[in-house]
Amino acid sequence: MKISINGKYYSKRTAKVSVFDHGLLYGDGIFEGIRVYNGRVFKLRDHIDRLYESATSIMLEIPASKDKLTGDVIRAVRLNKLKNAYIRLIVTRGAGSLGLNPFTCRNPQIIIIVDKIILYPPRFYREGLTVITVGTQRNIAEAVSPRIKSLNYLNNILAKIEALNSGLPEAVMLNSFGFVSECTGDNIFTVRKGVIFTPSIYMGVLEGITRACVIDIARDSGMVVKPIVMTRHDIYNADECFLTGTAAEIVPVVKVDGRKIGLGGPGHVTKSLMKKFKKLARSEGVLAF
């Protein structure tokens, strides 16, 4: 494995960052998770754009242009010779003093890891997931906006622990008003009477790139998609439910808080979107080889 740190390549053993890096000390930094399908980097421009948006929000100047960073990501994929992969693109605040002040950190670190993708078991896609709502609320946007893909994932990790403690793989997180926001690493959708719903980004969610892609696919095939204020009642009474994310792609949800969703199996809209997404993911994207 060849890991890029500021454009230089290191082995897994020698790739290191400083213990004074504020990314480690405070979770002060941002990242993206990106998929490579058949040698093509999927939605690379969207991921680069979102990374720069996160950077703007936390007042971190990425020491590279978007074009340069795009080229660096493609080079890292090529060097690692992986045609199907997961890329972790990270920008940390860099090393500074032990105080919080981010402006003592003069050298943000740009790290690119290209690894094999660890997928959810195929059973999850065939049979659908059982999830629960957890007590840990999603960060309030006025404190730390969930639209920032930051290195501090404790909010999501605490929710994930609650789900795992209940023997379930994912958690539905509510915002501070009690409305549905998203899951710990995925956006959530429902389908009712042929219409697709998802919490609006103003409900405190990450503006998922898979979410946007699924919305486009659905609208292109003539379906209506509505970003809404979603309650748990809406989920319990939906015909279908599914999650979206770069790693998970589209995964059906068949039970929420003990309530069977629809007929209790992956719904036909979900299955059709899964098929269309798979086709798109394997044909689109920036060719790395």
28 lies in the binding site for ligand PMP (CB under 6 A): no
150 lies in the binding site for ligand PMP (CB under 6 A): no
199 lies in the binding site for ligand PMP (CB under 6 A): no
Annotated catalytic residue: which of 8, 116, 149, 260?
149
Burial class (CB in 10 A: 0-12, 13-18, 19+), 33: middle
Which one among 185, 252, 262, 266 touches ligand PMP, defined by CB under 6 A? 185
Assess whether 12 carries a catalytic annotation. no
187 lies in the binding site for ligand PMP (CB under 6 A): yes
AA identity, residue 55: A
285 lies in the binding site for ligand PMP (CB under 6 A): no
SS3 43: coil
Q: What is the sign, positive or negative, of the torsion defined by CA atoms of 57, 61, 67, 68?
A: negative
Q: CA-to-CA distance for 233 and 261, rounded, in angstroms?
A: 11
- Residue 78's contacts (CB-CB under 8 Å, 6 or more residues apart) are 288, 289
182 lies in the binding site for ligand PMP (CB under 6 A): yes
AA identity, residue 268: H
**Which residue number, 94 or 185, has a Cβ lying nearer to ligand PMP?**
185
208 lies in the binding site for ligand PMP (CB under 6 A): yes
186 lies in the binding site for ligand PMP (CB under 6 A): yes
Contact (Cβ atoms closer than 8 angstroms) between residue 176 and residue 139: no
Binding window for ligand PMP (CB under 6 A); candidates: 2-10, 61-69, 108-116, 209-217:
209-217
Site residues (vs ligand PMP, CB under 6 A) = 33, 156, 182, 185-187, 206, 208-211, 244-246
